[in-house]
Amino acid sequence: MTLRATMLCFASLLVGCTSGKTADQACSDQAKANCALLDQCRKNGVADTYGSLGVCIQRQHDNCVASLMAMGTGNSPAHTEACALALPTESCASFLNGTPVAACAQVTGALASGAACAFSGQCASGFCAVPKGNGCGTCANVPAAGDSCATVTACGPGMTCTPMQVCEPWVMAGGACDNKTMVCAPGSSCVIAMTMTTGTCTADAATAGATCDNRRQTGPACDANQGLFCSSAKTCIAINYVNAGSACGAQMMGMSDNLCTGGATCFAPGTGMAAMCLADALEGGACDIMVGPACMSPARCVVSGAGTSGTCTANDASMCM
C-alpha cells in the first residue's frame, strides 16, 4: 500500500484498508452495484424500496460501513470491493432467489455460536439469527431445509420462509409445488388444477398482453418483477404504481394491481379493512411489524415488550454487546 493510500485510510476514520480502498470507498462501490442490480432485476426496484437512487446508495453504504466496523467481523474492504466488482455478473434469478455470486458469498467471523451479533459476518457460522422485532441476534448455524423460521427474519441462501413457516429451497420451474412447503421461485407460478393439491412451477408470462391465469389453475400469472399483473380478462397488464396514502393490492374485479412505490409498503390495518400504502419510517420513527408502517431497508423495527409496535433502528453491532 502506498503512503498516500495509508494516509487516506487513516483520514477516513473507518476500519480496514487494503488494495488502496478504504471501507468508505469499498462500501460506496458495493452500494452503487447493489442498487443498479435491484433496478435491473425488479421494475422500479429502487423507487419502490427507497424512493430514489441517492437514498438507496446512501442507506446501503451506511449499513455496509456499520458491518465492517462490527466486532469479530470476517469482512473487509477488500472482500467488499471484490463483491462490488462481481455484482454486475450476477443473474437476476440468483439475485431474486437470494443466491449470491461467489465473490459475494457470506464471510465468517470470530464469534462463537450463541454470541450476540447484528451481522452474519461476525459469526463463525456465517449466520446471525435475528428474532423478528429485534435489532440484535445470536450466532447460530445457517438454517437448513425444514428448520423453523417462525421467529427469525431469514433463512439460508437460496431458501425461503414458506407459508408453513419453515425454511425450504425455492422450487425452480418444472418442479412440484403446493404453495405451502414447496414454493416456486420468483418469476414462476405454482399452477395447480382445480381438483389437485399439488402442481408444477411454471415460468410467469413476461410480456404485456400475454395470456395468463390469475387463479393459476390452467397456467401461470404474470411476472411482477417485470411490472406485470394478470387481469380478470386473463391478460398481462401493467402494474399501477401508487404512493403512500393510496389503496394497494388487488383492486375491484382484479382489473389492476396497485403496488406501493416511493419507499412505501402495503398494509391492511385490520381484518376486512382496505389495505393502504404507508410510508416506510426512518431510524427513530414509529413502526409496527403487523399493521405498519415498516422501516426503510435495512433498518429493523425493534419492538419493546410483547406487542408489535416499536421503533426503527439502524443495524449497529455495538448495541448488541
Strands (E), the chain: 17-18, 21-22, 116-117, 128-129, 137-139, 159-161, 167-169, 176-177, 188-191, 199-203, 228-230, 236-238, 240-242, 249-250, 257-260, 264-267, 276-279, 286-288, 300-303, 309-313
Is the per-residue pLDDT at 8 higher than 60? Answer: no
Residue 73 and residue 117 in contact, taking contact as beta carbons nearer than 8 Å: no
Return the C-alpha cell found at 296: 426503510
Q: What is the pLDDT of residues 103-161, one digit of tens each?
A: 999 999 999 999 999 999 999 999 999 999 999 999 999 999 999 999 888 999 999 99
Instruction: Write down the H helix ranges in 87-162.
Output: 92-97
Q: Is 295 helix (H, G, I), strand (E, B) or coil?
A: strand
Identify the helix (H) or strand (E) that includes residue 136.
Answer: none
Question: Which residues, including other chains, have CB under 8 Å from residue 79's CB and lie 6 or more apart?
Answer: 103, 107
- Which position has the higher pLDDT, 14 or 149? 149
Is the per-residue pLDDT at 22 higher than 50? Answer: yes
Identify the helix (H) or strand (E) that includes residue 14.
Answer: none
C-beta neighbour count of 157 within 10 angstroms? 16
Q: What is the pLDDT, as a whole number, of residue 270?
A: 73
Q: Is 311 helix (H, G, I), strand (E, B) or coil?
A: strand
pLDDT confidence tier of residue 255, bands split at 50, 70 and 90:
very low
Is the per-residue pLDDT at 253 higher than 50? Answer: no
pTM of the entire structure?
0.89
To which residue does cell 420468483 refer? 186
Residue spans per domain, the chain: 3-105, 107-165, 280-316
Q: What is the pLDDT, as a whole number, of residue 257?
A: 79
Instruction: Write down the H helix ranges in the chain.
Output: 3-12, 23-41, 45-50, 53-68, 77-86, 92-97
Average pLDDT, the chain: 91
Q: What is the pLDDT of residues 44-80, one digit of tens each?
A: 999 999 999 999 999 999 999 999 999 999 999 999 9
Residue 114 and residue 135 in contact, taking contact as beta carbons nearer than 8 Å: no
pLDDT confidence tier of residue 250, bands split at 50, 70 and 90:
low
pLDDT confidence tier of residue 15, bands split at 50, 70 and 90:
very low
What region does 249 belong to: left with phi over 0, alpha with psi -120 to 50, or beta? left
Q: What is the pLDDT, as a whole number, of residue 168?
A: 97
Q: Is 266 helix (H, G, I), strand (E, B) or coil?
A: strand
The rounded distance, in Å, linking the Cα atoms of 129 and 303 is 16
Q: In this structure, are strands 188-191 and 176-177 parallel, antiparallel, or unpaired? A: unpaired
Q: Which of 59-63, 239-243, 251-255, 317-321 shows the highest mean pLDDT? A: 59-63
Q: What is the pLDDT, as a whole number, of residue 136?
A: 96
How long a stretch of residues is the chain? 321
Q: What is the pLDDT of residues 178-200, one digit of tens each?
A: 999 999 999 999 999 999 999 99
DSSP state of 123: B
The rounded distance, in Å, linking the Cα atoms of 290 and 58 is 27
